[in-house]
Structure 1
């Protein structure tokens, strides 16, 4: 999506209260919606990537989620599938499973974030405009790099909440 793409602007309860171009939403700190998708391969490794330097938000930082903004009139579920297929460079991905939603707030940056998981057993060919580097890492490898690499702050918050969500459900599986 470009800076001109239109987004739904939402309130503290995630209700649509207006629309604005993406660039304006970012510049003015207007609350909008995002989808975060944790993609695992057939060996249960997590897709990790470094964002390109051209990204509007958090350029050149690492992320353990694929995803992005939800377009105006689009559902979280529609955005999750679209974003996962676009960023992984695949088609025919299973519908991502929605796990939970949280409000991300960090100064002027604020968005509702729906967290998903999906199994991607297809060969990936990530979008060069979105992904500068990528690899599938085991959960242990990812954990070791959390303090070594510079991560997108919303992704770190989403991953922390995902680990808490899994622990609260008593499950060690994704």
Structure 2
């Protein structure tokens, strides 16, 4: 298995145009703008898949998130990355995602475009152990309770606020 810090990412400008590639470790260290996908996954009852990230993650280790997702690989489209990330993190195949909106996130010296998608999944999940330490399907009210007491990833919080504002 390769080191996540060595994964090549597209570095983009403030208009989301690719300007070069760089290893993820360099992108994070130097605060270079790159691309990420976030997928809000609901079950048919409307519950949201919420998870706690593993303590080995490069960004926000151990924090909770209401999105599955991750970085867009070099040469990959947002749509391709959304399906790949959702399938990898949930341990499923055949998921369909729907793009919603995109924004440039900035925080703690870091910056990336967040491409927000949603999906519905009606079946078992087997979350990727290297990514997900805990998971549950929560109602929006249960998620609101968790938001008040648990630490969530800052980019996910911003994306969820924007999602709710839509």
The match for 1:69 is 71
> Whole-Å Cα distance in 1 between the matches of residues 40 and 63 of structure 2?
16
Where do residues 1-174 of structure 1 align in structure 2 (5 Å cutoff)?
2-94=4-96, 96-165=97-166
Tell me the alpha carbon deviations over residues 74-110 of structure 1, each in whole angstroms, 9 at most, x when there is no partner.
Answer: 000000000000000101112x000000000013110
> Whole-Å Cα distance in 2 between the matches of residues 82 and 122 of structure 1?
17
> Whole-Å Cα distance in 1 between the matches of residues 24 and 115 of structure 2?
18
- Cα deviation for residue 14 of structure 1 reads 0.6
> Whole-Å Cα distance in 2 between the matches of residues 120 and 158 of structure 1?
20
> Whole-Å Cα distance in 1 between the matches of residues 30 and 100 of structure 2?
29
* Structure 2, gaps ≥5 residues long: none
TM-score by length of 2: 0.97
Tell me the alpha carbon deviations over residues 91-139 of structure 1, each in whole angstroms, 9 at most, x when there is no partner.
Answer: 1112x00000000001311000000000011210000000000000001
> Whole-Å Cα distance in 2 between the matches of residues 73 and 48 of structure 1?
29
> Whole-Å Cα distance in 2 between the matches of residues 2 and 44 of structure 1?
33
Matched residue SS, 1:3: helix
Matched residue SS, 2:128: coil
What is the count of residue pairs matched by the alignment? 164
The match for 1:171 is none
CA RMSD of aligned residues (A): 0.9
Tell me the alpha carbon deviations over residues 43-68 of structure 1, each in whole angstroms, 9 at most, x when there is no partner.
Answer: 11000000000000000000000000
